[in-house]
Amino acid sequence: MDDAQPDLVCLSHLWWDSVWQRPQQLLSRLARHYRVLWVEEPHIEIGLPGDSFEVTEERSNLSVARLVYRGDAATFWQQLRARLDRTGAGGLALPEDLREASLLFGSPAQERLEREVRAYVASRRRGPLVLWPYTPAAVPFIDLLQPELVVYDVMDDLRAFKYAPPELAGQEEELLARADLVFAGGPSLHDATRGRRPDVHLFPSGVDQQHFARALDEELSLAPPSCALPRPIIGFFGVIDERIDLALLARAAAARPAWSWVLIGPVVKIEERMLPRLPNLHYLGKQDYLDLPAYLKAFDVATMPFALNEATRSISPTKTLEYMAAHKPIVSTAIRDVVALYGTVVRIAEGAEGFVAAVQAALDEGPRERERRARQERALLRRSSWDHVAARMHALVQDALARKGAERGVG
């Protein structure tokens, strides 16, 4: 590694190997310019006492720090149960339901994580340090690591998510005040943030077009579970949580029993028994990012059956452009950013009946309409690459580091 490169420490509420989203896409590209350390929320395991901390190199210039917390399990669960009761999550079964639940920063495991990360960063720090948090709960790391620059990339309003800790709102206010640069991942987040931070930069999510366009390759084999399903296949991939309108999904699937409704992704923060169960509803679980094009190729229509609630008020789904890269017709509920950014291409539906009608219209799409949509999609994709987003962010970070250096030189 080049010691002249600045260090970048990303503090993520998502695990590196979870569903690939905005943080993984950006940090994997920023690793061309920085020595990236991805610090993820602790992994909680019940078993033999003795927690562990390890740093593994996932790719060139990017390492992942993982804390597996096992120590003093009885005390940990007692403290965490009290925390969950305060957030209305007391009915969760532990520990499985906590995976990726955005609860573990600030938990009893954080003290160990802070100690380990501080020691590791100090051992390798050579030049400027950029701190890049994705969760306000990581705000204590500003004082802990004393970075030259703090960059807050607002990808979600985590305060609105199910079981969000009550202190998250105050932590976000502090992070917005202390960050040197603030980015917003969509128009809704930008509007919500600029009242508190007027200089926030709008960076809608991008797409790895080359990766998802593999679904257009005639030689790419369909993912095995898809081969045996009756057509048409009405598909979704992403996290299945409180943002999915399960009632709409159940009614839509019941209305069209001959269609195969396929959902790909982990079930998080909701119990699996809550999922609607019908013969034509298929839950295929979390699949590797590298394999998603093979699943996407089988979709006849790609969908985003999001509920319209607090958790979805500010979301800007990255999957919209990923579906477009394969030129799949898309049907979505009326998510504000989807309407604002992609409403000329995506069919917007209201209610189960409207959703089914929109899917039927997509299935009935003729060649001329399909080509017109594809032209619009190509125009959107040309200006939406993750490489372009990361490059623009990098330029702003470099400018800010230069200003900070000049200020220190003057002082």
- Count Cβ neighbours within 10 Å for each residue of 143-165 and write b for 16 or more, e otherwise: eebebbbbbbbbbbbbbbbbbbb
Q: Can you name the residues that pair with 65 across neighbouring β-strands? A: 39, 55
* Distance in angstroms (rounded) separating the CA atoms of residues 78 and 72: 10
Tokens encoding 165: 């800790």
From first CA to last CA, the distance across the chain in angstroms is: 31
Tokens encoding 345: 């291409």
For position 102, what pLDDT does the model report? Answer: 40
Angle between helices 22-30 and 386-410 (to 10 degrees): 60
Task: Look at residues 10, 4, 2, 1 and name the one whose alpha carbon lies nearest to residue 393.
Answer: 10
For position 96, what pLDDT does the model report? Answer: 44
Tokens encoding 91: 């009915």
Residue that is written with structure tokens 């309409």 in the block: 369
For position 106, what pLDDT does the model report? Answer: 57
For position 291, what pLDDT does the model report? Answer: 97
Task: Look at residues 93, 67, 96 and name the one whose alpha carbon lies nearest to residue 81.
Answer: 93
Residue 28 CB contacts under 8 Å (≥ 6 apart), including other chains? 59, 62
Residue 370 CB contacts under 8 Å (≥ 6 apart), including other chains? 327, 329
Tokens encoding 376: 């619009």
* Distance in angstroms (rounded) separating the CA atoms of residues 87 and 108: 16
Rounded to the nearest angstrom, the gap between the alpha carbon of residue 355 and the centroid of all alpha carbons in its chain is 25
Can you list the domains of the chain with their CATH numbers? 7-206+385-410 (3.40.50.2000), 209-382 (3.40.50.2000)
User: What 3-state DSSP class applies to 385?
Assistant: strand
CB 153 within 8 A of CB 134: yes
Task: Look at residues 341, 288, 373, 322 and name the one whose alpha carbon lies nearest to residue 210.
Answer: 322
Cis peptide, bond prior to residue 42, ω within 30 of zero = no
Q: Letter for the amino acid at 186?
A: G
- 277 exposed, middle or buried (CB, 10 Å; 0-12, 13-18, 19+)? exposed
- 242 exposed, middle or buried (CB, 10 Å; 0-12, 13-18, 19+)? buried
Mean pLDDT, each 10-residue run in order, the chain (411 residues): 78 92 97 97 71 92 90 56 54 43 57 93 94 94 98 87 76 96 96 95 97 98 92 97 97 98 93 95 97 98 97 94 98 98 97 98 98 98 96 98 84 43
For position 108, what pLDDT does the model report? Answer: 64
Global confidence as pTM: 0.89
Residue that is written with structure tokens 């503090």 in the block: 11
* Residue 81: other Cβ atoms inside 10 A: 14
For position 2, what pLDDT does the model report? Answer: 47
* Distance in angstroms (rounded) separating the CA atoms of residues 255 and 78: 46
For position 80, what pLDDT does the model report? Answer: 58
Tokens encoding 30: 């920023």
CB 62 within 8 A of CB 36: yes
For position 75, what pLDDT does the model report? Answer: 58
